[in-house]
Amino acid sequence: MAEKLHAPVGDGRPGNYDFAGKVIFITGAAHGQGRAAALAFAQAGAHVAAFDLAADLDYPAYALGNSADLAALANEVAGFGGSIKTYAGDVRIEDSIAAAVDDAAQTFGRIDILFNNAGIGAYAHSWEMNEHEWDMMLDINLKGAWLTAKHVIPYLIEQKSGVIINNSSIAGLRGFRRMSHYCASKWGLVGLTKSWALELAPYNVRVISLHPTGVNTPFNDGLAEIEGKTAIEIAEQSAGNLLDTPWIETDDVVEALFYLASDKARFVTGSQFVLDAGLLST
């Protein structure tokens, strides 16, 4: 049994930000970074459209967010008077993501922020993985981000404002052993970010990629389970941070998201926001 993660620090409520009336569409929202973002933005006054597969996959073979997690998220937001609508669907299927995006825009009247967060991870040498494993990684992490943005972008263009944040990784800025397919998908998000920033600047739409080191989420538990290691061992194996921590917290990711999605970052676009605990300096 993998060692469970320690409790996160803070209360998940960054200060000095007000997103009242804004609408954020989040993929991979049932747990981990997506769930933390959904809660925090709802607490800051935003309307949240929370999209998740809400089911397990044959690859990778660990538990993902499920329908109960998605329902619990909705109940928690409703409990503090926040605004949320949840969607169970697959970012790899265009009709699925298109229907959710259109419904969210109709329900809330607009979409202001897209957090492209849905993703998976796994280990294998390039010569050991099969074609299905490669396709799953690229389809979910990269194609899913493109399909989601494809249907969000027309709303941003029409209103001539908006922010897209693509959740990449430190693996989108350097290579890792036994993670070539994961790295390829996360580097691909950088290419999308830079291209979309060029395409969308005339419409006052900003695009940024976020690059965290290992984050204290169930993602590490899943990798630990299939590797037969502890979550901390997985974090240290995948990272090797310069600062004395095996991982960062979802609160740290939310703080970055709040800044990037706000007018405080009004001149930030096409760039890579690194949240690496110094890893890339080593």
214 within 8 A of 239, measured Cβ to Cβ: yes
Catalytic pick from 62, 123, 155, 182? 182
Which residue(s) pair with 26 in the sheet? 50, 115
Query: Is position 59 annotated as part of the catalytic site?
Result: no
CB contact set of 1 (below 8 Å; sequence gap of 6+):
none
Beta bridge pairs of residue 63: none
Q: How far apart, in whole angstroms, are the C-alpha atoms of residue 157 and residue 14?
A: 29
Residue burial 129-153, b: 16+ Cβ < 10 Å; e: rest:
beeebbebbbbbbbbbbbbbbebbb
Judged by DSSP in three states, 48 sits in: strand
Distance CA 199, CA 183 (A): 25
Q: Per the structure block, which two tokens stand in for 27?
A: 């993929």
Strands (E), the chain: 23-27, 47-52, 83-88, 113-116, 162-167, 205-212, 272-275
Q: Which of 70, 69, 71, 144 is nearest to 114 (CA)?
A: 144
Cβ-based neighbour number of residue 188 at 10 Å: 19
Percentages helix, strand, coil for the chain, rounded to the nearest 5?
A: 45, 15, 40
The three-state secondary structure class of 175 is: coil
Give catalytic residues, as residue numbers. 182
